[in-house]
Structure 1
């Protein structure tokens, strides 16, 4: 019936008679243009004023000016009751044809719903959190061996009464033998005796060990591998998390050899990196290093050494912000190693200078630590002239610390990492993260790569 409606209304328009009545044409064109511009400008100004990005504001304004199936019978009725003449009717119908043809093309050019599906207009990361706000973390679990590593890292994030942790644990299971995906919310009073009791009880114990400082919520998503990233990103968006924790797709043995490698998990991690609405951390656990972190962070007599390699850029700033939060725990010691090129910056390049200003701002309190807000922090600077020299320093660092936190700086050209991207095995880790995850590196340090 819809096709018949469009056909019958359109058959009443004779384009050859369009200019038979110039006054009617002028009236119809004026009405069409004025209503289009009024809707477009009004929607664009209000959405852009509300800090919506320019392209999204333009796309939204175009969508709100769309015309189609509703307007066709309205104009046909107005013509039948002689409120508008034949010429005006022809102009308005042709206007609908042009609108419904051009607007979808322009919207598709301005807005990609797949890549922007989980986009938000608020900065959801650790760096932009309020000083005394809670830290919301989404921890993803594939297998039982992921549990100890994630809990070990979560123990080191130093929740406090002023800034507690809210942890959402998402158990990801590949869909086999079912027609539709399944999403399960685990209520604490119903956990005992369930099929997921073991991994949930481990996180419940983590919550109890941090009484009042951690709130834990457990979920299970059973879905096809190519849809798992949607479960992760949807939950991160709905729960307004600041960090998604993902396990690396490789598992090492005590002698440094690879025990297992799951390419489906690697593909999932890459998909989350492309679409996530907040910061992401890929946790590489070598030789149960994060389990040692769990043991040491619970013990008052032993310390845990963390290093952050800072080259520059927003990912490194986010990694350093997380490391500074962890350093508030007096049982942990943090070393910040900054890679400098030794060359004078280009003052004519505003973006480069602006990035440098932001880097200096986030490093300011680390250099001096005058407020005493953080625990033990050591600041070091290394002059790095090229990629091979950076690789040597990174390898030496990996043998001295229990955990190394780096930003994912893949695709960002810098003097300090020049040439390393050509040898990168895992682009999702960035050039420095890839070095630390290399099978040639005989290190027991865990690595967290932050985007």
Structure 2
């Protein structure tokens, strides 16, 4: 018998439960849920967007996609950017008339601006779930100045670790997605 190895993705759910409003309560499937996708680019971010797109099959889910673009061009990431553009364009075309979907682009100069923007979303709007890619294929300018040396949870990537260490409102859960890399 021959087994074919198919690529798959891995997701790590950092689930925060509030005693008065647990994610798995009896109202979960009937009450509105707000999901945020932080799209920093690359294979992991594309995979995260695919998962979020599937979540939209639930009519009680609203989805906000924030695409982070670098102010600085980076030749090494032009191929990734072209693929990202195709995926984002396709997503916007499929969901262009869906009133439960919001897509925004933000342009960042460095990692400090990236974190400040993420912090602003955590403080300004309540989301039940944040979805992001781990790190593969992110333009390095979006992370410039950030170090993985201070990370408590390297498996979440630099941005995932930062978000899980923040306290937002104590009920936001985070799903970090990584696309499998096949070798050989």
Q: TM-score range by the shorter chain?
A: 0.7 to 0.9
Kindly indicate whether the alpha-carbon contact (under 8 Å) linking 2:64 and 2:103 is maintained by their aligned counterparts in 1: yes
| Larger relative strand fraction | 2
CA distance in 1: counterparts of 2:122 and 2:67, whole angstroms:
15
Structure 1 gaps of 5+ residues are: 1-118, 124-277
Kindly indicate whether the alpha-carbon contact (under 8 Å) linking 1:327 and 1:375 is maintained by their aligned counterparts in 2: no
- Equivalent in the alignment of 1:428: 155
> Structure 1 residues 371, 310: CA separation in 2 closer, same or farther (over 3 Å shift)?
closer
> Structure 1 residues 420, 411: CA separation in 2 closer, same or farther (over 3 Å shift)?
farther
Offset of 1:413 from its aligned partner? 5.6
CA distance in 2: counterparts of 1:410 and 1:314, whole angstroms:
6
Kindly indicate whether the alpha-carbon contact (under 8 Å) linking 1:410 and 1:428 is maintained by their aligned counterparts in 2: no
Q: Secondary structure at the match of 1:369?
A: helix
TM-score after normalising by structure 1? 0.35
- Equivalent in the alignment of 1:357: 82
Offset of 1:448 from its aligned partner? 0.5
- Of 329, 334, 337, which aligns to 2:58? 329
Listed one character per residue, the Cα deviations across residues 125-174 of structure 1 (whole Å, up to 9, x for unaligned) are xxxxxxxxxxxxxxxxxxxxxxxxxxxxxxxxxxxxxxxxxxxxxxxxxx
> Structure 1 residues 398, 371: CA separation in 2 closer, same or farther (over 3 Å shift)?
closer
5 Å-filtered alignment, 1:106-255, equals 121-123=5-7
CA distance in 2: counterparts of 1:427 and 1:386, whole angstroms:
20
> Structure 1 residues 435, 425: CA separation in 2 closer, same or farther (over 3 Å shift)?
same
Q: Which structure's relative contact order is higher, taking Cα pairs within 8 Å and 6+ residues apart?
A: 2
> Structure 1 residues 418, 333: CA separation in 2 closer, same or farther (over 3 Å shift)?
same
Kindly indicate whether the alpha-carbon contact (under 8 Å) linking 1:327 and 1:333 is maintained by their aligned counterparts in 2: yes
- Of 133, 143, 151, which aligns to 1:417? 143
Offset of 1:375 from its aligned partner? 6.8
Kindly indicate whether the alpha-carbon contact (under 8 Å) linking 2:35 and 2:62 is maintained by their aligned counterparts in 1: yes
- What root-mean-square deviation, in Å, do the aligned CA atoms of Structure 1 and Structure 2 show? 2.7
- Equivalent in the alignment of 2:42: 313
Listed one character per residue, the Cα deviations across residues 302-339 of structure 1 (whole Å, up to 9, x for unaligned) are 31100000011111111000000101211000000011
> Structure 1 residues 407, 296: CA separation in 2 closer, same or farther (over 3 Å shift)?
farther
TM-score after normalising by structure 2? 0.80
